[in-house]
Chain A
């Protein structure tokens, strides 16, 4: 079972597709949660996801915007997609009928 932060990173990486790398994933999760996560949390979690075989990472090209420094590119594996889908289904199932789910703005109970 994934942790919620692991799920957030997988979702951000899936959304970014080919353009998924450290800083972009951090910005994407920041947009979703309203808070930028720390770089320490980001990279230790990416390491953990890679160790579990849920993502692959490699060194990408350097850009001038980054002062000529490389990016750590991220790609979700098939296992990663399966794990994220499983987590999403579990959260949706667990949330069915609870007050914050039924009282969501724009959703009629």
Chain B
């Protein structure tokens, strides 16, 4: 149990800035704390650091903005998730060899796939830019919390996007499909944007907030 707590404390210390992390790990090793106590100490410091980051208006403003933009993106992705589910079902579940020789079949497949891909790409770009804007407007520590909170909110909001038609598959598969699509279209690009903002920050020499 103690070694697991020490391992967990080490993982949790990743929430702290690199230089402080090493100092705290050293202090805990020197003072001979138990694993459980070390975990409590690390979590306490990480929580205090998080709270300190939320004492000005910036992260609150970013959280509000990110939630608003995120919910809009979830709503925008609803028709795409539904349309792609219908076409996936149409082409994968109802595939007949005879269709392969039909030029109309291929024409429709190309047209619909291109439409879905273009819409998806547009939403991915918007999500990435939104993630980058949030990452640049708040501190690195607040950006991670904001990202996690917004991700959770969007996952909950995405329940409304689960295709309802039973013909498209069992409920679990439909829900999984909707969440995978949300992850690919919105969450992963936004997370990439957030990470990109961290690189930009380093590039600009931490002159950003």
Contact with B along A7-18 (1 / 0, CB 8 A): 000000000000
Is B31 in contact with A23, judged by CB distance below 8 angstroms?
yes
Distance, CA A72 to CA B16, complexed state (A): 15
Q: In chain B, what residue has the closest Cβ to A57?
A: B23
In the complex the two chains form, what is the Cα distance from A23 to B29 in whole Å?
A: 10
**Are the CB atoms of B31 and A43 closer together than 8 Å?**
no
Q: Is the CB of B30 within 8 A of A39?
A: no
B23 touches A72 (CB 8 A): yes
Tell me if B90 is interfacial: C-beta within 8 Å of chain A.
no
Tally B residues with Cβ within 8 Å of A. 21
- Decide: A62 and B47 in contact? CB cutoff 8 A: no
Query: Do B41 and A38 have beta carbons less than 8 Å apart?
Result: yes
Q: Could you tell me if A69 and B26 are in contact, using CB atoms closer than 8 angstroms?
A: yes
A38-B44 Cα distance, complex, nearest whole Å: 8
Q: Write the chain A residue with the least CB distance to B20.
A: A43
The 5 closest A-B pairs by CB, nearest first: A69-B26, A66-B26, A40-B44, A40-B45, A23-B27
Known: A59-B19, A71-B23; 13 extra A-B contacts, CB below 8 A, are A22-B23, A23-B26, A26-B27, A26-B31, A38-B44, A40-B41, A40-B47, A44-B48, A44-B52, A65-B29, A66-B26, A66-B27, A67-B29
Chain A residues near B (Cβ < 8 Å) = 22-23, 26-27, 36, 38-41, 43-44, 59, 62, 65-67, 69-72
Residues of B within 8 A of A (CB): 19-20, 22-31, 40-42, 44-45, 47-49, 52
24 of the cross-chain contacts (CB-CB < 8 Å) are A22-B27, A23-B27, A36-B31, A38-B40, A39-B42, A39-B44, A40-B44, A40-B45, A40-B48, A41-B44, A41-B48, A43-B45, A44-B52, A62-B26, A66-B26, A66-B30, A67-B29, A69-B22, A69-B23, A69-B25, A70-B19, A70-B22, A71-B26, A71-B27
